[in-house]
Amino acid sequence: MGKKKLRRFAENATFENMFQRSYEELEEEGFENKGQWCSGFFHNQNPLILELACGKGEYTVELARKFPQKNFIGLDIKGARMWKGCKKSNGENLNNVAFIRTQIELIQFFFGKHEVDEIWITFPDPHLRKSRRKKRLTSPQFLQRYKPLLKEDAIIHLKTDDDVLFEFTKEVIYEYKHNIHLISEDVYRDKVQGPVTDIQTFYEQMWLEKGKRIKYISFTLNKSSMDE
Residues annotated as part of the active site = 125
The answer to whether residue 24 sits within a structural domain is no
Q: Which domain holds residue 52?
A: 3-16+31-226
Residue 39 has pLDDT above 70, yes or no: yes
The answer to whether residue 47 sits within a structural domain is yes
Residue 228 has pLDDT above 60, yes or no: no
Neighbours of 137 (CB within 10 A): 23
The answer to whether residue 146 sits within a structural domain is yes
The answer to whether residue 66 sits within a structural domain is yes
Q: For residue 65, what are the CA distances in angstroms to 156, 157, 224?
A: 20, 18, 35
Q: 50 has which bridge partners?
A: 73, 119
The answer to whether residue 25 sits within a structural domain is no
The answer to whether residue 87 sits within a structural domain is yes
The answer to whether residue 126 sits within a structural domain is yes
Instruction: Kindly report the CATH number assigned to the domain that includes residue 95.
Output: 3.40.50.150
pLDDT tens digit string along 55-112? 999 999 999 999 999 999 999 999 889 999 999 999 999 999 999 999 999 999 999 9
Question: Angle at which helices 79-91 and 58-66 pack, to 10 degrees?
Answer: 30
The answer to whether residue 21 sits within a structural domain is no
Number of domains in the chain: 1
Which pLDDT band, with edges at 50, 70 and 90, does 204 fall under? very high
pLDDT tens digit string along 103-140? 999 999 999 999 999 999 999 999 998 889 999 999 99
Residue 227 has pLDDT above 80, yes or no: no
- CA-CA distance, 50 to 96, in Å (whole number)? 12
> pLDDT at position 159, please?
97
**Which SS3 state, helix, strand or coil, does residue 84 take?**
helix
* Of 30, 75, 26, the residue nearest 49 (C-alpha): 75
